[in-house]
A and B are shown apart, each in its own frame.
Chain A
């Protein structure tokens, strides 16, 4: 897992770095000392996990979450238990009260890796999805889907041979489809990564159709389609 530490207390950041190193499963990409630094970093980089302090200079850790669009898991690190309710509202994976032991740290990390596995199990085992279209359930093989496009309250599944329209949203679909094969690249598009022919700076090409990549997903796209 790749993580970023957002923490203004050097001792706490040092402790977290060591815990990550000791775990052997977390690579620390950066340490941000302020909310602004964290937003800047996360707009350009993609991480699996954010260790987030709450009370920071010039803002609260939650401001980071309000200003980024990535789907990273979050572990709050704070010395104030009063933030537990907000933690719940922001759907963070765990809450570490500073200072915490390595054992407690690992419990939190296991929740993160556990939840990732759960999502993969939920989506990864199936090679197809069922959608309701024209009043019937239609089985779509994952491998036949090129991309999915938003049409307001509906989505269009663009296949090799034909298209299907179904009542659904991109936001809902992104949590339900196979995350190893599909990825959201724009608020209106989810693409089948195995069908991408080439990647430009702000677009992907699938069978001669240009799919826009929004700024928020650029880092994740770059990570998924890195060259060898």
Chain B
């Protein structure tokens, strides 16, 4: 992962794959800002659904809620987070009960929370960047 360094180019967090972001959006930062907003609009609710389904020990609903949130991070250029969701979703299809996921689940939640913070920070930076007309 590496950020672009030329002038008039937004420099993404090193947790975001800048090359991939370019492939997705070119340098349309207004568009990326809109996308990050859309991601954040649904993020809290989707994360809460994951937690609820885990607490309710509902394996299929847990898998579905992970499946739903998974591509979100791809759209934000965080392919490693998407991959972790994919791995967890696959585990949901293999195990027989939610109890078997008790070591993997906290790690996944931590990863998602950190990803949420990064997207929030990047969104704020992008807003300021776009507002400045750079």
Is A48's beta carbon under 8 Å from chain B? no
Which residues on B sit within 8 Å (CB–CB) of A18? 31, 34-35
Tell me the minimal C-beta distance from A4 to chain B in angstroms.
18
Interface residues contributed by chain A, number (CB under 8 Å) = 17
B60-84 interface bits toward A, Cβ cutoff 8 Å, 1 = contact, 0 = none: 0000100110111011000000100
Is B95's beta carbon under 8 Å from chain A? no
Is B50's beta carbon under 8 Å from chain A? no
In the complex the two chains form, is B68's CB within 8 Å of A9's CB? yes
| Candidates A12, A55, A102; contact of B75 at CB < 8 Å | A12
Is B24's beta carbon under 8 Å from chain A? yes
In the complex the two chains form, is A11's CB within 8 Å of B67's CB? no
Q: B72's closest neighbor in chain A, by CB?
A: A11
B2-22 interface bits toward A, Cβ cutoff 8 Å, 1 = contact, 0 = none: 000000000000000000000
Partner-contacting stretch, out of B37-45, B51-59, B103-111 = B37-45
Is B23's beta carbon under 8 Å from chain A? yes
In the complex the two chains form, is B67's CB within 8 Å of A80's CB? yes
Q: Would A98 and B42 be within 8 Å (CB), given that A14-B34, A14-B35 are in contact?
A: no
In the complex the two chains form, is B71's CB within 8 Å of A98's CB? yes
Q: B39's closest neighbor in chain A, by CB?
A: A11
Tell me the minimal C-beta distance from A21 to chain B in angstroms.
10
Which residues on A sit within 8 Å (CB–CB) of B64? 55
Q: B24's closest neighbor in chain A, by CB?
A: A101
Q: Give the contacts of B77-108 with A (CB-CB under 8 A).
A: 82, 86
Tell me the minimal C-beta distance from B101 to chain A in angstroms.
19
In the complex the two chains form, is B38's CB within 8 Å of A99's CB? no
| Candidates A8, A13, A101, A102; contact of B68 at CB < 8 Å | A8
In the complex the two chains form, is A101's CB within 8 Å of B23's CB? yes
Which residues on B sit within 8 Å (CB–CB) of A98? 71, 74-75
- A80 CA / B71 CA spacing, docked (Å): 10
A96-107 interface bits toward B, Cβ cutoff 8 Å, 1 = contact, 0 = none: 001101110000
Which residues on B sit within 8 Å (CB–CB) of A101? 23-24
In the complex the two chains form, is B71's CB within 8 Å of A79's CB? yes
Tell me the minimal C-beta distance from B67 to chain A in angstroms.
6
Is A15's beta carbon under 8 Å from chain B? yes
Tell me the minimal C-beta distance from B91 to chain A in angstroms.
15
Is A135's beta carbon under 8 Å from chain B? no
Which residues on B sit within 8 Å (CB–CB) of A80? 67
Q: Give the contacts of A46-72 with B (CB-CB under 8 A).
A: 55
Which residues on B sit within 8 Å (CB–CB) of A12? 71, 75
A-side residues, CB < 8 A to B, are 8-15, 18, 55, 79-80, 98-99, 101-103
List 8 A-B pairs, minimum CB-CB distance, nearest first.
A99-B74, A98-B71, A14-B38, A11-B38, A79-B71, A11-B39, A10-B42, A10-B38
Of the A-B pairs whose beta carbons lie under 8 Å apart in the complex, a sample of 25, sorted by A's number, is A8-B68, A9-B42, A9-B71, A10-B39, A10-B41, A11-B38, A11-B71, A11-B75, A13-B38, A15-B35, A15-B38, A15-B75, A55-B64, A55-B67, A79-B67, A79-B70, A79-B82, A98-B71, A98-B75, A99-B24, A99-B71, A99-B74, A101-B24, A102-B25, A103-B23
